[in-house]
Structure 1
Amino acid sequence: MSKTILIVDDSASIRQVVGITLKGAGYSVIEAVDGKDALAKLESAPKINLVISDVNMPNMDGISFLKEFKQKPAYKFTPVIMLTTEGAEAKKREGQAAGAKAWVVKPFKPEQMLQAVSMLIN
């Protein structure tokens, strides 16, 4: 059975690139446009094995989403990769404190993303 990955990003092109990369590697993909949308999708989604989330998004940013996501008992130990243009150390620390397991800076190489994903869910 393939693992399911939730991609949370307000950029349709980023969701598309990440989605194609992951589907090509055999993962199932669910997309959300921001943190609020992602939390809503969790209600009806199959078990999510990993989340890839942007940091800067409208409505609910990635760090706020991550904090709420980690409050859910079913997802307490689900790995999260932050995919962002933010390279600032302070932001990285904030993300790690909220529970992010990896930090990938845009623009990213697809193989770099797959490497991070396979390290976290295999």
Structure 2
Amino acid sequence: MKSFKEMNNIDKAQLIHALFPDDINHMLTFFEDSASMILNSPSLMPEEWNRKIDLAVWQKEAETVQQKINEYRGKMVQDGSYFAATLFKGYLDFFPLQCLRDYTLLTPNQKLADAIELLFEP
């Protein structure tokens, strides 16, 4: 296992999946709901989201995430490597990262929320 300093977002997402496999399906639903909000009601986008990123870029990333979840949900739920590589690879991972941070506010699993905050602190 890599040290914390050596871990990238894919490694961290894979670890979240390994530690909390039963929460992944619900998390993906939250990602989909967040994507729908950005695409269908952009005025509801939370103020604390980084406004330095243009809304069109947020929407493009939301659409990509939504499409990937629709196509590969089953595989992402079952395979942590696939989950991590599909959603957290590349320079446009800001949307799933923001979703993860927001997910900490509503998940009933406090250990999951604590792990996300530890691994993905801004």
Normalization by structure 1: what TM-score? 0.33
Normalization by structure 2: what TM-score? 0.33
Structure with greater Cα Rg: 2
Greater percentage in strand: 1
Greater percentage in helix: 2
